[in-house]
Structure 1
Amino acid sequence: MLKNYFTIGWRSIIRTKGYSFINICGLAIGMAVALLIGLWVFDELNYDRSFKNYDRLGQVYHHMTFGEETLTLNDVPAPIGEALKSNFAEFEEVAMASWPREHIVAYNETKLSKSGLFVEPQFVSMFSIQIAQGTSALNDVHSVMVSKTLAGSLFGDSPVGKMIKFDNRDLLTVTGVFEDFPANSSFADIKMLLPMAYYFSASEANRKTQNSWESYTFQCFVLLKNEGLFDQVEPKIKHVLYDKASNDGKAVKPEGIIFLMKKWHLYSEFKDGINKGGQIKFVWMFGIIGVFVLLLACINFTNLSTARSEKRSKEVGVRKVMGSARNQLVAQFLSESLLMVTIGFLLALVMAAVSLPWFNVLADKKMTMPWTDLKFVLVSLTFIVVTGFLAGSYPALYLSSFNPVRVLKGAFKASRFAALPRKIMVIFQFTTSIVLIISTMIVFRQIQHAKDRPVGFDREGILHIAIRTEDLAKANYNSLRHELLSSGAVENMAISDFPITGAMSADASLTWEGKDPALRPLVAMNSCSHDFPKTNGFQFVEGRDFSREFSSDSAAVIINELAAKLISEKNIIGKKLSFFGKEREIIGVIKDQVRWTPFAKQSPHLYYVSYTSVGYLTIRLNPQARPHDALEKIESVIKKFDAGAPFEYKFLDDDYARQFSGEERIGKLATIFSILTIFISCMGIFGLAAFAASQRTKEIGIRKVLGASVFNLWKMLSSDFVRLVLAAILLGAPLAYYLATQWLEQYEYRVEISWVTFVATGLLVLAITLLTVSHQALKAAWMNPTKSLRTE
């Protein structure tokens, strides 16, 4: 019987190639999108799950109060690791680590720049790192573990026991090779693990941080003995940082918390000390979009199947007269649906596999099709059955309910309400499309709004180079600057602890005359050379720039407008600030700068002169020089001072643009899904328009004979669909407004929602609908009326 069902189903598909093509392609596109989104959602939900102790691992965070603002940070002082391990039995293990940073490794003539992490030895076992060769020992100060890919790039075979030169400074022995961290893990970029002991021995400044409770520059990872101890131990560690802090440290009220690994990726956002979620909102958003896209494809199938019901009414009548029970007819139509869904799913697999490399680039992923995964096979089979039932259940129940006597007598006529479900489903399709289109437009308007925000510095023709070796760090600044300026490729050059688009430091002891002792504002601080403001094009609103002509500028400071408002309402120039145990004079006020994410409010900021804490070179290219030639000249100069490091740089405008990457990625994905939803909806409406035209062939012929123009006939056939789309616009616009408003609430700096967006979307959808329907409407209107009247 099943064979007979599928045979009849296949013949039906072949007999109606046009409708079958629309049905199968619509389903295939919907399922391909659902597959890709499903892979993305699965990858996100399984972030970090490759670690054996996933449920028991966590990181120490802390809340700090600056005035009315509470920040949640995950950098801690080095001694906290030993304090937690020694005083709290709930921890099975505690490991301190540095922050990831690019380091230079060299073996023979091969020099590479890779990300490394300084860790305590127990880090390896805590995170169940798989050892491919050698051991996991990091007890020797001059040892290093490298990833499998880095070992292959440096050595080829047998890397254990060989020595690499690290940051053009020390020779380190490779004690082990570990399997690369998975792409969907928090440590995906880490290619080297080094002993914390080596970090503390590298310099006097590093050594001082080992026992300092004031230097918040490390990470602390903890492994609980069991997950159930989380609620018990978190209140206990709340005051550890506060109890060990100085009076200035106590003033910002640090409160320790444990942030479990299961929340690192999807729930990473905090506001005023409260977790506000994070990436999880995009998981939900795209998961819902995937379901809706699949649902739209199923609606197309249902609409076309029910619309063509009269074409198959006699078939149903004959089958019932010949003894077919209703359940057999239901099974027949469901089997046809299942056959079409199976064909569509196979086509969807091909589409998904072909699109996956491109989708990975767009989504910044490294996903693969899990062909051999039993779970994937079972999910796929379930997917086919559920989708087949979802897409075919209503047509099967509807077609099998026809009265055979009325059908065979030719008295069968569909109820005037028979088309109501189809109309509702068309409205649902276009409502979904409209919501997605409007939301996508607002996403891109928000991105452009942030891009147009005044940043307070120049971005064109400026690059920065990380100082990663002692050779470059200890190079004579004036000599290096002189050679770069003499090359003709450079207009200006400076050094600083961070680049203009980088991080910051802060000091809770910052004070000034007349400051409320209880006030502890968060003021970002950057050390730099005299030339830093001019090199970056700072925009002064009051006072002056640093100058070597004034010896007192070694104790001068430049602040932004937010800092000026914080310190004094007027007469800010000449006022004194004290921090890091030194008094400095304010000599200039600059416009507020967008130092980090352009979507958030910025903070008070200050710059002071210091040549001891250097992290980056900032170079302003000569606008008269060709960039390629200028870079070659800069490289030759840098190589004189730092021969052991590869020449690597970042342009400031590219670095700034990376701050938009997350929102732009979401916007591009949303755009693609919007296009696909409107395309799937149009495929369905195209099929319905074709069927409507075929059903009214005689009517069209009579109207033409009686003098109806092509325009009148086009208007008659198009009006029903236009009314449905107008209803969808009226439903979709308020829903899109509500969703967009909720999405924009996460940004401190956001665009206003304009009515133009809604009008433009409505006109766009109407135009697309008319173009889709017009082909079938005009085709029917141009048909010879003689042929139309002869049609049976």
Structure 2
Amino acid sequence: MKTILRNLFYTLKRFQTASVLNLMGLSAAFAAFVLLMMKVSYERDFDTCYPHTDRLVMLNLAQPQEENYVSTLPRGPIDYLIQQVPGIEYGTIYSPAWQKQAFYTDPKNPQYFYEEPWAVYPDFGKIIGLKFVEGSDQEMNRPESVIVSESYARKLFPNGDALGSYLYTDTPDWRNPEATKFRICGIFEDLPENCQFKNDLFVPMGKLQENDWGSQNFFAFFLLKPGVSVEEINQQIAATEANKRLFTGDQGTQKLYVLPIQKLYYDMHSPYYFKTGSCSTMTLLVSIGFLIILIACINLINFSTALAPVRMRSINTQKVLGSTNGELRRALVAESVSIVLIGWLLSLGIIAALIRLNVLSFMGFTPSLLVYWKYVLYTGVIALLTGIVAGLYPSWYMTSFPPAIVLKGNYALSGKGKRLRTVLIGFQYIVSFALIVTAAFIFLQNRFMRNHELGIDKD
């Protein structure tokens, strides 16, 4: 171990330029890779946080040729299906406010803040598995009730007296016009960022548009009974003949059906309110991440091979003094692993700085070394393997010649050695140029969408 550390410090000190370039490349590559893997984790685990994810479904209404589009629903069929379909354990309306509403906490000194509360049924908490840290949702059958997230409660009431306090409004909610103030009856544990219900305020749904089978203003979610499949529920919905009672769109062609909650994110198109993603995008991100690591690995091999001529004398001297090829190769691989792990540690510092500077908002989620700690550790394992792979060829190459090679020139300047380096560098350039061109096209497309004339005054 002492010999490995001595060789490592000697290499870092003796070949400062190469070492700095190596560490810069490795740290940048691992920083990009860790961030990409965080994004992949965000995408892959979307809507998996619920206790009964496999039983949570969304109700949708669409034409046969538009089943991949999320549509708003009338309230009538939502209530009807909750009552009539035997496979539904709990059901809830999920009603957007459509615009921000003004609230305040002190009626004597109103300090307004603006939010978009969602109106739901009392069973909403049971359906998505809300965990209450204070209070409960037992009073959500009363019009003047509200449940709030834990972080939002701390924000509104820093002294910790949120439970039982009131939120006041001067403009009654159109979905619950009889309520002009809302008492906080429950504070629930914050939901993760990668879920559809990442909201702070939920209020009870009033009697608006009850038995209305035509006005489309709502969404709905059901929790199925254990053992009941999506196919069975859709058959039960069809058996109720609710489709025939609809007064929406082209009657006779639209149909009500449910879809698994995870299908909403990956397979549906939603113009508003719901988040959507793509499995192909996730696959692309993983591919780009590993290409970046591969480039860094090749870069390390090239640097190590390029240093071979000037390190050959030291290696052959150690041979003369009795070191075996196996010992020297293990030391050189350990040296490569150490450099890669240092680069990995530096990458974590880079990520922490970027998070602190709040410059990663363009990624569409909130990166965190703590939240995504598993992927940080996985990347550390990948860094270890990268160091081993990147160190195998240089260590074999630099120890494969007899000591007399010092007097006869070196392989690095031979035709075969040049061809190997040309192939590795050529691969680096091809992948790098492909990524740069792709990034340039994404930038141009984004700029086009932001600056294109829409025919209206955007201000």
CA separation of 1:114/1:180 partners in 2, compared to 1, >3 Å: closer, same or farther?
Answer: farther
Structure 1 position 409, deviation (Å) = 4.7
2:175 aligned partner: none
Contact 1:50–1:182 under 8 Å retained in 2: yes
CA separation of 1:371/1:177 partners in 2, compared to 1, >3 Å: closer, same or farther?
Answer: closer
CA separation of 1:350/1:96 partners in 2, compared to 1, >3 Å: closer, same or farther?
Answer: same
What is the TM-score of this pair, normalised by structure 2? Answer: 0.85
Q: Read off the aligned partner of 1:404 and give its amino acid letter.
A: P
Structure 1 position 219, deviation (Å) = 1.0
CA separation of 1:69/1:168 partners in 2, compared to 1, >3 Å: closer, same or farther?
Answer: closer
Structure 1 position 259, deviation (Å) = 2.5
Partners of 2:152 and 2:410 lie apart in 1 by: 74
List aligned pairs for 1:231-242, cutoff 5 A. 231-237=231-237, 240-242=241-243
List aligned pairs for 1:650-689, cutoff 5 A. 652-653=458-459
Partners of 1:248 and 1:270 lie apart in 2 by: 18
Q: Name the SS of the counterpart of 2:163 in structure 1.
A: coil
CA separation of 1:423/1:227 partners in 2, compared to 1, >3 Å: closer, same or farther?
Answer: farther
Q: Does 1:54 align with 2:29?
A: no
Q: Name the SS of the counterpart of 1:173 in structure 2.
A: strand
Percent identity between the two aligned chains: 23
Contact 1:314–1:407 under 8 Å retained in 2: no
Structure 1 position 131, deviation (Å) = 1.6
CA separation of 1:255/1:320 partners in 2, compared to 1, >3 Å: closer, same or farther?
Answer: farther
Gaps of 5+ in 2: 173-179
Structure 1 position 442, deviation (Å) = 2.5
2:69 aligned partner: 72
List aligned pairs for 1:24-173, cutoff 5 A. 24-64=23-63, 72-101=69-98, 102-107=100-105, 108=107, 109-137=110-138, 138-155=140-157, 156-169=159-172, 170-173=180-183
Contact 1:241–1:254 under 8 Å retained in 2: no
Gaps of 5+ in 1: 201-205, 272-276, 460-651, 654-792
**1:1-44 alpha-carbon deviations (Å, 9 max, x no partner):** x3322322322222211211111221111112212222222223
| Larger relative contact order (Cα-Cα within 8 Å, sequence gap ≥ 6) | 2
Partners of 2:26 and 2:405 lie apart in 1 by: 31
Contact 1:144–1:192 under 8 Å retained in 2: yes
Contact 1:77–1:216 under 8 Å retained in 2: yes
Structure 1 position 309, deviation (Å) = 1.9
Structure 1 position 167, deviation (Å) = 4.6
**1:395-445 alpha-carbon deviations (Å, 9 max, x no partner):** 223223x22154155365444121222212212222122222322332333
Contact 2:38–2:375 under 8 Å retained in 1: no
Structure 1 position 337, deviation (Å) = 0.2
Contact 1:27–1:297 under 8 Å retained in 2: yes
CA separation of 1:28/1:69 partners in 2, compared to 1, >3 Å: closer, same or farther?
Answer: closer
Q: Name the SS of the counterpart of 1:26 in structure 2.
A: helix
Contact 1:145–1:176 under 8 Å retained in 2: yes
List aligned pairs for 1:752-791, cutoff 5 A. none
List aligned pairs for 1:467-478, cutoff 5 A. none
Structure 1 position 61, deviation (Å) = 2.0
Q: Does 1:194 align with 2:203?
A: yes
Structure 1 position 256, deviation (Å) = 3.1
Contact 1:62–1:257 under 8 Å retained in 2: yes
List aligned pairs for 1:346-361, cutoff 5 A. 346-357=345-356, 358-361=358-361
Partners of 1:160 and 1:380 lie apart in 2 by: 42
List aligned pairs for 1:154-553, cutoff 5 A. 154-155=156-157, 156-169=159-172, 170-188=180-198, 190-196=199-205, 198=206, 200=207, 206=208, 209-226=209-226, 229-237=229-237, 240-246=241-247, 249-251=250-252, 253-269=253-269, 278-357=277-356, 358-370=358-370, 373=373, 375=374, 378-400=377-399, 402-404=400-402, 406-410=404-408, 412-414=410-412, 415-450=414-449, 453-457=452-456, 459=457
Q: How well do the aligned residues superpose, as a CA RMSD in angstroms?
A: 3.0
Partners of 2:8 and 2:223 lie apart in 1 by: 58
1:649 aligned partner: none
Partners of 2:440 and 2:403 lie apart in 1 by: 54
**1:575-620 alpha-carbon deviations (Å, 9 max, x no partner):** xxxxxxxxxxxxxxxxxxxxxxxxxxxxxxxxxxxxxxxxxxxxxx
1:559 aligned partner: none
Contact 2:94–2:119 under 8 Å retained in 1: yes
Partners of 1:248 and 1:266 lie apart in 2 by: 26
Larger radius of gyration: 1
Structure 1 position 92, deviation (Å) = 2.6
CA separation of 1:49/1:417 partners in 2, compared to 1, >3 Å: closer, same or farther?
Answer: same
Question: Which shifted more, 80-89 or 33-42?
Answer: 80-89
CA separation of 1:83/1:315 partners in 2, compared to 1, >3 Å: closer, same or farther?
Answer: same
**1:255-306 alpha-carbon deviations (Å, 9 max, x no partner):** 33323222333433389xxxxx844333333332222222222211111111
Partners of 2:124 and 2:446 lie apart in 1 by: 39
Provide the aligned length of Structure 1 versus Structure 2: 439
Structure 1 position 84, deviation (Å) = 3.2
CA separation of 1:427/1:247 partners in 2, compared to 1, >3 Å: closer, same or farther?
Answer: closer
CA separation of 1:228/1:403 partners in 2, compared to 1, >3 Å: closer, same or farther?
Answer: farther
Partners of 2:245 and 2:393 lie apart in 1 by: 68
Partners of 2:350 and 2:232 lie apart in 1 by: 50
Q: Read off the aligned partner of 1:187 and give its amino acid letter.
A: F
Partners of 2:453 and 2:220 lie apart in 1 by: 37
Q: Read off the aligned partner of 1:115 and give its amino acid letter.
A: E
CA separation of 1:371/1:250 partners in 2, compared to 1, >3 Å: closer, same or farther?
Answer: closer
Q: Name the SS of the counterpart of 1:269 in structure 2.
A: coil
**1:149-208 alpha-carbon deviations (Å, 9 max, x no partner):** 4434444442333333235342333222223333332222x2221111x2x2xxxxx3xx
Partners of 1:345 and 1:386 lie apart in 2 by: 12
Structure 1 position 381, deviation (Å) = 3.9
Partners of 2:213 and 2:280 lie apart in 1 by: 36
Contact 2:341–2:380 under 8 Å retained in 1: no
Partners of 1:228 and 1:305 lie apart in 2 by: 60
CA separation of 1:10/1:217 partners in 2, compared to 1, >3 Å: closer, same or farther?
Answer: same
Structure 1 position 449, deviation (Å) = 4.3
Contact 2:146–2:204 under 8 Å retained in 1: yes
Contact 1:318–1:408 under 8 Å retained in 2: no
Q: Name the SS of the counterpart of 1:328 in structure 2.
A: helix
Partners of 2:451 and 2:27 lie apart in 1 by: 40
Structure (1/2) with the larger strand percentage: 1
Partners of 1:325 and 1:419 lie apart in 2 by: 27
Partners of 1:228 and 1:308 lie apart in 2 by: 65
Q: Read off the aligned partner of 2:350 and give its amino acid letter.
A: M
List aligned pairs for 1:566-585, cutoff 5 A. none
Partners of 2:66 and 2:221 lie apart in 1 by: 26
Contact 1:6–1:335 under 8 Å retained in 2: no
What is the TM-score of this pair, normalised by structure 1? Answer: 0.51
Partners of 1:421 and 1:26 lie apart in 2 by: 21
Partners of 2:148 and 2:248 lie apart in 1 by: 42
**1:691-718 alpha-carbon deviations (Å, 9 max, x no partner):** xxxxxxxxxxxxxxxxxxxxxxxxxxxx
CA separation of 1:435/1:381 partners in 2, compared to 1, >3 Å: closer, same or farther?
Answer: closer
Partners of 1:429 and 1:246 lie apart in 2 by: 60
Contact 1:104–1:111 under 8 Å retained in 2: yes
Partners of 2:238 and 2:326 lie apart in 1 by: 65
Q: Name the SS of the counterpart of 1:217 in structure 2.
A: coil
